[in-house]
Amino acid sequence: MSKDRILLRCLLLSTSSRNIYRHCKDKKKRGKIVGAMIGQTILYLMLMAYCVLNCIGYGHFGLAGSIPVMCATVIAALSFIFTFFKTNGYLFNFKEYDMIMSLPFTSKSIVACKFIYMYIKSLPWYLSVSVSMLAGYAYYVRPPLAVYPVWILLTFVLPVIPMIAASFLGFIIARIGSGFRNKTIIQTVLTMIFIIFVMFSRFFIEDMLRNDKTEDVLSSMSAATDSAGKVFLPIDWFRGAVADLRISDMLLLIGVSLILFEVVFMLVGRSYRKINSALRSHAARRSFVMSERKRRSVLNAIAFKEFKRMTGSTVYLTNGALGVIMCLVGGTVVLFLNLDKIIRPVLKDAPFTMEMLYPVIPLVIYFLIGMVATTAFTPSLEGKNYWIVQSLPISRKTLYQGKMLFNLYMTVPVTVFATAALCISARAGVVNTLLFIFTGILLCLFSTAWGCVCGIKHMRLDWENEVEVIKQGAAVTIYLLPNMFINMGLMVGVVALGTVVSPILISLGLMTAVAVLAALSYLRVLSLTRE
């Protein structure tokens, strides 16, 4: 085997759940692996069902010819987003850097293997989208038999260019950030600026559509979908290859992907060691003077430790604090804008009054703040150093209480500010404002405790890269998905109840339910610490 294949094989085997299941004798651990596999399968099926429903909608309105473009657009968007958020943890500043760089591999080979590793790990998502949309396309269009192998073959190639673009963007951010003293903060700020820019760019697009500035291009749903290929050429190449069986488009997609792969990772490989060395180094302050150290309680010391851990990891910051920052920015913005003008375009002139929407305010704040609780992954972040924590003269109860305290320090003040800002902008009144603030605090308590339950119950300490527990961990998935769907369902239910019930009664009922769930979750945390 070549050196590159050996390195890639080792990376895959060391993190393969299937490989761990084959060689592990611990029944509890094997059960967790089976549960994680079942959970992933459910997620893939949910994504496939969503894609099939989209295909049905396209077919019903006679737009089945745009399904290949929709498939390529979804795969390209997923591959770019997945890679962009993983680049810092997989390509740069990863844990096993010193060990891998000491092996007889070139920098280009290491970067390329890490990239292919990310590609293989995300491939099931892309195949889920592709296979389900191919089924919908086949049902409505009845294409020639040659389309099927071409579609499947190009599915493996289509994510490469967006992944390369995301990796190169991550490389630029890492290159800029490595030149500053506070490298992690600079990288995180640049990453979040890009994320916020992408999120808010949709409002400019909507403004263009409302003012008919792109009427000729986006005159219909099909034209809007097809226009994606004019912006991102690989989408148009994919459509031409599978819909028209154009060999030139097929060769262009494959050839350009291979050329970009070689060129980009040759450029990245040249400064790869320099960037990683800079990211892993620490600057010393010349003006540092030894002074009296501050004394903290044990719980505050653990919370401060979590704060230092967060500010030292870009992956931790972008995932654990992104919702908090967005909530802080949103709360500041609504103080200067009329909330009614923001909501009306979203509701599309639906027959709802502002009073009916009041109880939704704490749920909207929670959607941003509570979707990722740090307690869902911080127990696993101890990793192979967990034995050090166990040797300290503190109980497991105190340890997890400190981790929960840090999450509360980060979320409660922002929740109070953002809720108060939304209430002021919506003119909700003093009584409603106090009720919503208290509801928001209870939601923070619930998310912190429930996240800790998931984090302890599904703790993973044998990870090689923190991305595996912060973004891909079973604890985060089990916490996130039910939380997100239940919260969205509550929003709809609260608005529906607002048509017949007073907002104050809805808030009191919601507060009671959340308080009970928060108490039960905290009691479950205490019981887990005694096991």
Handedness of CA 462, 468, 472, 473 (dihedral sign): positive
Mean pLDDT of 51-72: 82
Handedness of CA 208, 209, 210, 215 (dihedral sign): positive
Which is nearest to 20 in space by CA: 474, 374, 385, 389? 474
Instruction: Report the distance separating Cα 219 and Cα 213, nearest Å.
Output: 11
421: pLDDT strictly greater than 50: yes
Looking at per-residue pLDDT, the higher value among 277 and 36 belongs to 36
What average pLDDT is seen over the chain? 77
Confidence of residue 203 (pLDDT cuts 50, 70, 90): very low
Mean pLDDT of 19-24: 76
Which is nearest to 238 in space by CA: 224, 253, 227? 253
Confidence of residue 519 (pLDDT cuts 50, 70, 90): very high
Q: Residue 490: what pLDDT?
A: 83
- Which tokens is 61 given? 């309105």
Within 10 angstroms of residue 436's Cβ, the number of other Cβ atoms is 29
Instruction: Report the distance separating Cα 222 and Cα 232, nearest Å.
Output: 16
| pTM (2 d.p.) | 0.65
Mean pLDDT of 166-182: 66
Cβ–Cβ < 8 Å for 475, 380: yes
**Burial (CB count within 10 angstroms: exposed 0-12, middle 13-18, buried 19+), residue 20:** middle
Which is nearest to 259 in space by CA: 173, 157, 151? 157
Alpha-helix residue ranges (DSSP H) falling in 458-502: 467-470, 474-497
- Which tokens is 391 given? 């040797």
Which is nearest to 112 in space by CA: 130, 126, 100? 100
Mean pLDDT of 15-25: 75
Which is nearest to 269 in space by CA: 465, 114, 99, 86? 114
Cβ contacts of 77 within 8 Å, gap of 6 or more: 162
Maximum Cα–Cα distance across the chain: 78
- Give the pLDDT confidence of 106-150 residue by residue, as tens digits: 777 788 888 888 888 888 889 999 999 999 888 888 888 888 999
79: pLDDT strictly greater than 50: yes
- Torsion angle (degrees, nearest 10) of CA 453, 325, 166, 374: -10
Handedness of CA 347, 349, 354, 357 (dihedral sign): negative
**Burial (CB count within 10 angstroms: exposed 0-12, middle 13-18, buried 19+), residue 458:** buried
The alpha carbon of 361 is separated from its chain's Cα centroid by a whole number of angstroms, namely 23
Instruction: Report the distance separating Cα 466 and Cα 115, nearest Å.
Output: 16
Q: What is the DSSP letter of 465?
A: S
173: pLDDT strictly greater than 90: no
Q: Residue 414: what pLDDT?
A: 92
- Which tokens is 305 given? 């430790």
Residue 479 DSSP SS3: helix
What are the helix and strand counts (H, E) for the chain?
A: 27, 0
Instruction: Report the distance separating Cα 457 and Cα 377, nearest Å.
Output: 11
350: pLDDT strictly greater than 80: no
Looking at per-residue pLDDT, the higher value among 371 and 242 belongs to 242
Residue type for position 7 = L
SS (H, E, C) 211-238: CCCCCCCCCCHHHHHHCHHHHCHHHHHH
Mean pLDDT of 374-383: 84
Buried-exposed string 410-425: b where 16+ CB fall within 10 A, e elsewhere: bbbebbbbbbbbbbeb
For 337-354, the DSSP string reads S-HHHHHHHHHTS-S--H
384: pLDDT strictly greater than 50: yes
Mean pLDDT of 80-85: 79
Residue type for position 388 = I
Which is nearest to 58 in space by CA: 135, 2, 122? 135
Instruction: Report the distance separating Cα 160 and Cα 163, nearest Å.
Output: 5
Name the percent of the chain lying above pLDDT 70.
78
